[in-house]
Chain A
Amino acid sequence: MNVHQVLSAAGPVDAVTNQGLAFRRLFSEWGWGGDDVAEIIAPGMPRGAVKPARALRPAAEDVVLLHYSGYTPRLEQLMDVPNPKVLLSHNVTPARYFWPYEPLEGVRCALAPGQLAELARAADVAAGVSHFNAEDLRDFGVADPQVIPVLFDRAKLGAPGPARPPGAPTILFVGRVAPHKRHDLVIRAFAMYRRRHAPDARLVLVGGAMSPAFGRMMRQLVHEVAPGAVDFEAGVSPERLWELYRSAHAFLCLSEHEGFCVPLLEAFHFGVPVIAQPVGGIPEVVGDAALQARADDLAVIAELVHLAVTDDELRAELRRRTGPRLEAFAFERTAQRLREAVTRAAAAR
């Protein structure tokens, strides 16, 4: 069987692109062929890894798998092929987060639901990476949306970290510096925690900024509330990232919108206690293995961070509870779901 993958855009540090490449490795293991194409290919992509969209030439029985992550011009025409189709929705951020900072991104997010609805209704199998995403598809009129979580390969991450890393308390968050991720809340909650409980604490924020201007705003906020205590890291190697997880005492995620949030599973793998807002796909990912609280009172978040850093029994209990969550998102299990979805689409014609 051949499965061709279509990406809105492909980039070397793009999570959806990496997911598509991971799918391709699996397809190869299963003896499936096909090409991966994208409308936009960013510089830095390995040559030939993803082809331009015009290279999409599926044979009659080939399956076309679309990774949907945002509005892309001409996608409807590209997907207007008589082949079996699978659509995997990777989540679209609400446009309202972007209007004041990146209006073009806002336009892209505002146009996305309409395009996604049209493409999802035309797919033989439509799936979201979480039940949260799949519900959007149901709202668009898809009768039986599937869930294919993000492929999470623990084997690549190496050994978990120690029960309590040495050194001053280090709080970590991993995610693109963008408005819906609410780095501003993370910085403020951290500043409050540091002032009250741990003057030597550090916050590490890993991820590139959505725009230089937005990055500067976050740095300005750090300058105001926690000068010298926050490190911004972008473009880090996987090895460096794993090291940052191993040296973290807590993972603080105050995002207001997440479709899945892989870093939560990474934190689980490395044994880092997680504090997160129960929004979007986060509750179904973390289950009972994280401390969940709304960020409407940052003093409470600061106290939760303090508990997660200092209460060894709580840390141990949270760590124990990550086992079933990691099992729920085990690589083989997700791979099986993917295989079933593709096979089902192929059989639908």
Chain B
Amino acid sequence: MTTPEDALQVARAAAEAARAEGGYAEPAFSFSFQSAPRIRDARLMEWAVIEPELAYVGSTRRFGRPITLLKQGLLRLLRQYNDQVVAQQTRFNAHITGHVMSFDDRLDAIERLFGEREEARDRAIESRRREDFFGR
């Protein structure tokens, strides 16, 4: 009998044996919470400008039509206030988006510079190696 305490050892041995005969050959996977598809800048800018849709304000009750009309009417009456809220939020979103994109640009520039330096370093090493070889 395999006891719960032994089970892990038994499973490890079985996995090892399976691998020895070619089993469990699945490629290592990379999915993790870090590797999600990146939200594109265009999408970020699209989301930054918030545009609530009046048509989505309503009631889900069976006879909710009057409630829907009341809610939409109230929103129209409060438009000045709501527009302020939307404008303030959009301004904040736009600034944040701007910051993120400027960081992106700086990161791109740093990576490009780093790549160029790496290439130059590799070229210099290669050149020294050749000089050593031919010089000798």
Known: A196-B18, A299-B18. A314 touches B3 (CB 8 A): yes
What 1/0 flags go to B77-112 for Cβ under 8 Å of A? 000000000000000000000000000000000000
Secondary structure dominating the interface of A: helix
List residues of A (294-349) whose CB comes within 8 Å of B's CBs. Answer: 297-304, 306-308, 311, 313-314, 317-318, 321
Known: A100-B33, A221-B31. A317 touches B11 (CB 8 A): no
Residues of chain B within 8 A (CB-CB) of A321 are 4
A303: which of B3, B11, B29, B31 is its contact (CB, 8 Å)? B11
> Does A192 interact with chain B (Cβ within 8 Å)?
yes
Distance between B14 CB and nearest chain A CB, rounded to angstroms:
4
B11 A300 Cβ-Cβ under 8 A = yes
B1 A314 Cβ-Cβ under 8 A = yes
Known: A43-B60, A196-B23, A293-B11. A318 touches B33 (CB 8 A): no
A96 to B32, CA, bound (A): 11
> Does A188 interact with chain B (Cβ within 8 Å)?
yes
Distance between B19 CB and nearest chain A CB, rounded to angstroms:
7
A99 to B33, CA, bound (A): 9
Chain A: CB-nearest residue to B36:
A100
> Does A259 interact with chain B (Cβ within 8 Å)?
no
A179 B33 Cβ-Cβ under 8 A = yes
> Does B114 interact with chain A (Cβ within 8 Å)?
no
Chain B: CB-nearest residue to A291:
B7
How many pairs of residues, A versus B, come closer than 8 Å at their CB atoms? 81
Chain A: CB-nearest residue to B15:
A299
Known: A307-B7, A314-B4, A314-B7. A300 touches B29 (CB 8 A): no
Interface residues of B, CB < 8 Å — how many? 26
A298 to B35, CA, bound (A): 19
Distance between B41 CB and nearest chain A CB, rounded to angstroms:
15
B4 A318 Cβ-Cβ under 8 A = yes
> Does B10 interact with chain A (Cβ within 8 Å)?
yes
> Does A39 interact with chain B (Cβ within 8 Å)?
no
Chain B: CB-nearest residue to A310:
B2
List residues of B (3-42) whose CB comes within 8 Å of A's CBs. Answer: 3-5, 7-8, 10-12, 14-15, 18-19, 23-24, 26, 29, 31-36, 38
A307 to B1, CA, bound (A): 11
> Does A288 interact with chain B (Cβ within 8 Å)?
yes
A97 B3 Cβ-Cβ under 8 A = no
> Does A101 interact with chain B (Cβ within 8 Å)?
yes
A96 to B35, CA, bound (A): 12
Known: A297-B15, A299-B19, A303-B14. A291 touches B8 (CB 8 A): yes
B12 A300 Cβ-Cβ under 8 A = yes
B11 A97 Cβ-Cβ under 8 A = no
A196 B8 Cβ-Cβ under 8 A = no
A184 B31 Cβ-Cβ under 8 A = yes
A306 to B2, CA, bound (A): 12
A311 to B60, CA, bound (A): 52
A192 to B3, CA, bound (A): 23
Residues of chain B within 8 A (CB-CB) of A179 are 33
Q: List 29 A-B contacts (CB under 8 A).
A: A96-B33, A100-B33, A100-B34, A100-B35, A101-B33, A184-B31, A192-B24, A196-B23, A221-B31, A288-B5, A290-B4, A291-B7, A291-B8, A292-B8, A299-B19, A299-B23, A299-B24, A300-B15, A303-B11, A303-B15, A303-B18, A304-B8, A307-B2, A308-B7, A311-B2, A314-B1, A314-B4, A317-B3, A321-B4
17 further interface pairs, Cβ-Cβ under 8 Å (given A180-B33, A184-B32, A292-B8): A100-B35, A100-B38, A184-B29, A288-B4, A290-B4, A291-B4, A293-B11, A297-B12, A299-B15, A303-B15, A306-B14, A307-B2, A307-B7, A307-B10, A307-B11, A313-B1, A314-B4
Q: 10 smallest A-B Cβ distances: which pairs?
A: A100-B36, A303-B11, A299-B15, A313-B1, A299-B24, A179-B33, A303-B14, A304-B11, A300-B15, A300-B11
What is the interface of chain B, defined by CB distance below 8 A to chain A? 1-5, 7-8, 10-12, 14-15, 18-19, 23-24, 26, 29, 31-36, 38, 60
